[in-house]
Structure 1
Amino acid sequence: MTVTAARRAWLTDLPVLLVAVVWGSSYLAAKGVTTSGTVLAVLVLRFAVVLPVLVAAGWRKLRALNGAQIRGAGVLGLILAVIFLLETYGVVHTSATNAGLIISLTMIFTPLAESRLRGTRLPRSFVAAAGLSVAGVLLLTQGAGFSEPSLGDLLMLGAAVARTVHVLAMSRMRSVQGADAMSLTTVQLGGSVLVFALLCAAPGMGATPWAAAADFGPADWAWLLYLSVFCTLFAFFVQMWAVRRTSPSRVSLLLGTEPVWAAVAGIALAGDRPGWPGLVGVVLILAGTAWGRTAADPGPGAAQQRRRPAAGPSEEEPDATHPGLEPAGRP
């Protein structure tokens, strides 16, 4: 590789790496702006900023979706809503470090689930990596002494399972295959926001979006805009840009560093103190998920390594649902 080519590769990699950093820090941002009584309100407000931009940017292709594609994306949007609810309620009830590391188990769960559906066997090295990650989660949740995992830890584990369901549904739903990634993301987010708005309207479901907004201070608005602008819009458009200038596997590799940044943000900025068992757990999770990604690619789970959870099934485009785009952005 020439010096010029290396420089161009670095200039492409840097924005993608920044996406991994902002995704890793999104759990800290969500904790900064969200309480147990404002989860639904924050989700509505966050995507009220995002949706108009996505609609305006992709209006022509959005209109080109047929009825089957819209219905399919709507179903995926319902799954996405479940993911966001589990992640956001989960991060409220656990540490930013735990949230970011436990959700990374999606990278282990997806190849396992897909191998079962396909009736194929994963390499023994992947099974070993999965065991290492699970052991890491067990240690991570026991950082302050051996006890039951917190409610937030269990919710994040449920979110990792839901993300796996979302990825598998997206890869197997014929109606959305070949559709434009931005359009699918927009419909999914729109469906999710509709779910959040309906839940907000139900009695006893916490603050309304306008009541929460009225109580926000400057720091709350800063966190909310960070989640909307950087963890969602910036992340999505960088992926769309980068995947056309480099390989999907390279994008996936860089985005796979997200758990590292989640741990860095939680420990360095949020003051999380996982204790010695927890620190060992952090190392095991990072090692296990990194090893698992390598062991499962190529293989039944390779598609998940190339696409982050709601962009679309095309290998030419990244999956934007993880968050931050998580559309599933994070979290």
Structure 2
Amino acid sequence: MRGRAEALKGHAAMLGFSAAVSGSFSLGALVANDIGPVPLTTVRFLCAALVLALLVALLPGAGRAGRRGFARADLAAPWRYGLLALLYGGYFVLMFEGLKTAHPLAAGAVFTLTPLMTAALAWPMLGQRLRTAVAAPLAVGAAGAVWVIFRGDPGALMRLEIGPGEAIYFLGCVLHAVYAPMLRLLNRGESALVTAALVTAFGFVLFLAWGWAEVLATDWAALPARVWVTLAYLAVFATAFAASAMQFAAQRLPASKVMAYTYATPVWIILWELALGHGVPGWVVLPGVALIVVALLILLRGDQA
């Protein structure tokens, strides 16, 4: 019973994750040509690290073994956080580089390939074989996501041409697919918030060292307001919350199930596009939405971690 309850918590965390990261696509496309991806990622990691460190220090049970604050053991083998930061930050840099030319929904289409890549990597890395019970909802969810993204038009799917933005973002999704099983493989008892705080802190240091010239060359005072709004959202929701949610879920669910929730992202992207006044597809997308919901319900039934 406890195992089922913990797995359900993992599913809830990933549902929140999918809602949070979806805003990155629409908001990221709005500001992709206003600021470079490296300065944006560097500053978002700094802001997220500060928010997460504050949460670790203040929230009861946020640290190791249900305690508050950081422990000396959390810094054991610090190279782990550097490696995770490279994967996580590399994904963001390639995402925003791709969004300079790719439409948010097109990027969402590429993102739906991540669960299958994660499932393939989880076998050699974690010994987690892709069972039929997981493969079936992965396939159903993929079909639903493709239906939504291409607005139920088979012709649009058949005419798909991969542009440079989509190709760049695909490389980022490969890094994201590796990141999920690595979270579980490298964890040594750290809580979700502690891991997320240290990963983003290491990410800030690494990307500042790499792109310091570009960061200093950015005219921060001249940036439009939408960049700062996007930066705040990315730091709090798409980085701090999302990283914590994924780490929390990765300790309770197989990696393939963790990444399965990416199939909900296109639905959230459509809602974001509607909220931003960019227009959305009509009723034709509802069958795809229904397939995604069915896939997630199937996953909720198979709750063994």
Shorter-chain TM-score above 0.5:
yes
| TM-score, normalising length: structure 1 | 0.64
SS in 1 for 2:112: helix
Aligned partner (choices 108, 113, 124) of residue 116 of structure 2: 108
2:48 maps to a residue whose letter is V
2:298 maps to a residue whose letter is T
The separation in 2 between residues aligned to 1:286 and 1:149, in whole angstroms, is 27
Range 225-234 or range 92-101, more displaced: 225-234
Map residues 1-331 of structure 1 onto 2, 5 A cutoff: 20-35=18-33, 38-59=36-57, 61-115=69-123, 118=127, 120=129, 122-123=131-132, 126=135, 129-130=138-139, 133=142, 136=146, 140=150, 143=156, 146=159, 148-173=161-186, 176-201=187-212, 207-208=214-215, 211-233=218-240, 239=245, 257-266=264-273, 269=276, 271=278, 287=291, 291=295, 294=298, 298=302
- RMSD between aligned residues: 4.5
Offset, 1:165: 0.8
Q: Is the 8 A contact 2:91 2:172 kept in 1?
A: yes
Offset, 1:148: 2.6
Q: Note the alpha carbon deviations across 1:122-151, whole angstroms, 9 max, x for none.
A: 3187268448738939x8498498253112
The separation in 1 between residues aligned to 2:190 and 2:43, in whole angstroms, is 27
2:206 maps to a residue whose letter is V
Go from structure 1 to structure 2 and tell me whether the alpha carbon gap of 1:105 and 1:36 turns closer, same or farther (over 3 Å shift).
farther
Go from structure 1 to structure 2 and tell me whether the alpha carbon gap of 1:87 and 1:146 turns closer, same or farther (over 3 Å shift).
same
Give % identity.
Answer: 18
2:269 maps to a residue whose letter is A
Q: Is the 8 A contact 1:31 1:91 kept in 2?
A: yes
Offset, 1:216: 0.9
Q: Give the structure with the larger helix fraction.
A: 2
1:199 maps to a residue whose letter is W
Go from structure 1 to structure 2 and tell me whether the alpha carbon gap of 1:294 and 1:131 turns closer, same or farther (over 3 Å shift).
closer
Go from structure 1 to structure 2 and tell me whether the alpha carbon gap of 1:125 and 1:24 turns closer, same or farther (over 3 Å shift).
closer
Offset, 1:108: 3.0
2:164 maps to a residue whose letter is L
Offset, 1:72: 1.7
Structure 1 unmatched ranges of 5 or more: 1-12, 304-331
Equivalent residue, structure 2, for 1:313 = none
Q: Note the alpha carbon deviations across 1:299-321, whole angstroms, 9 max, x for none.
A: 9xx75xxxxxxxxxxxxxxxxxx
The separation in 1 between residues aligned to 2:190 and 2:48, in whole angstroms, is 20
The separation in 2 between residues aligned to 1:121 and 1:256, in whole angstroms, is 17
Go from structure 1 to structure 2 and tell me whether the alpha carbon gap of 1:35 and 1:195 turns closer, same or farther (over 3 Å shift).
farther
Offset, 1:298: 4.2
Offset, 1:189: 0.9
Q: Note the alpha carbon deviations across 1:244-298, whole angstroms, 9 max, x for none.
A: xxx989x9798863331113323663636789xxx77x96698369638836974
Q: Is the 8 A contact 2:19 2:268 kept in 1?
A: yes
Go from structure 1 to structure 2 and tell me whether the alpha carbon gap of 1:262 and 1:224 turns closer, same or farther (over 3 Å shift).
same
| TM-score, normalising length: structure 2 | 0.68
Q: Provide the aligned length of Structure 1 versus Structure 2.
A: 274
The separation in 1 between residues aligned to 2:163 and 2:290, in whole angstroms, is 21
